[in-house]
Amino acid sequence: TCSLLRSPKGFPELKNDTFLRAARGEQTEHTPVWCMRQAGRYLPEFRETRAAQDFFATCRSPKLCCELTLQPLRRFPLDAAIIFSDILVVPQALGMEVVMVPGKGPTFTEPLKEVEDLLKLRQKVDVTAELGYVFQAITLTRHSLEGKVPLIGFSGAPWTLMSYMIEGGGSTTMAKAKSWLYCHPEASHRLLRLLANVIIDYLVGQVAAGAQALQLFESHAGHLGPELFQEFALPYIRDIAQGVKSKLKEEALPLVPMIIFAKDAHYALRDLARAGYEVVGLDWTIQPQEARAQIGKHVTLQGNLDPCALYAPKEKIGELVKKMLESFGTQHYIANLGHGLYPDMNPEHVGAFVEAVHAHSRHINKH
């Protein structure tokens, strides 16, 4: 039920705030759970909805984004929804062309090759003009959720977006993008600053549109070592948290919890814990106890079941979830996967994961 008729504000009252309470470090009866890429190709209804559509045309349709965001919530008792969109809408807003190539993924028709190419980018971006379709999708979805669960908005982080813009798509080494960091550090900082400024406005716009939490995806953190991360990723991750929070205050908007997910950045957990985010997301390659020791008790952790664990039989998924909950503890914690769901996963196994989190966390909290 995604009709565009209702007025933007006057949102329905929230019925399940478990995710938001856990994000803010408050006590919860059960551990909340959601999945990265929960609106995705593993659902047959998703494939049907998306069948005839160009991927980015889907992203630009508030009605379709709303429908795709709601699909997993009709199947599973998830504790949060995340708006259906893509991190590459930000480079598009800067004037770059991105197409989705079947079997290859997102591809930039003209990636950044020379430092001079930065001049082709829009230096001032009006996010409402360029990304208003995401804001409309958020407002529509927030109404259509009818207060069932909170709605998460998101953006890619500057380094991750920069790496796509230079590589022109996915890459196993990120060699072209990393060569900029070594050969053109000043130009790299110019690009990262431009991205950070747009991301701050974009995230604030998402809250104004109705997002109740925000996640920043630094998906390519693993390609950087500690030195490059310190210089080219962390300062912008920090600035985004600070910039978003001060603008939300200025505009009298709700101060929503923010999540930083930097994949494969074990080397930076202590810094990420102090970067201004309420929640630090973890991938599956780190021990929960180790992460908790580095991050401390004041920041909520999110993660981190290996997505491939969902290929296991349902009983096994239950055992793995129980072990994960015992390792993290059920409080100051949001259960999730260590990365997104894969297209060939069985929806029933996703359901088993969600239900196991609720059942085992309730049991542990009682005893």
Which ranges of the chain does DSSP label H, i.e. alpha helix? 18-23, 44-50, 55-59, 62-75, 89-93, 127-144, 158-167, 175-183, 185-209, 226-232, 234-250, 269-273, 288-295, 314-328, 347-366
Active-site position among 24, 86, 190, 274: 86
Note if 41 is an active site residue. yes
Residue 21 annotated in active site: no
**Catalytic residue selected from 21, 50, 60, 142:** 50
Q: How many CB atoms lie within 10 A of CB 333?
A: 26
The verdict on whether omega for the bond into residue 304 sits within 30 degrees of 0, i.e. cis, is yes
Annotated active-site residue in 37, 60, 142, 292 = 37
Nearest C-alpha neighbor of 56 from the set 133, 143, 142? 133
Cα angle value 364/366/367 (rounded, 5°): 65
Alpha-carbon distance values, 84 to 62, 153, 209, 355 (Å): 9, 9, 14, 23
Alpha-carbon torsion (138, 272, 78, 36), positive or negative: positive
Judge contact between 95 and 121, C-beta under 8 A: yes
Active site residue 37: yes
Q: At which residue do the structure tokens 């500690």 appear?
A: 226
Indicate which residue of 41, 190, 274, 362 is catalytic. 41
**Catalytic option among 17, 21, 42, 164:** 164
Catalytic residues: 37, 41, 50, 86, 164
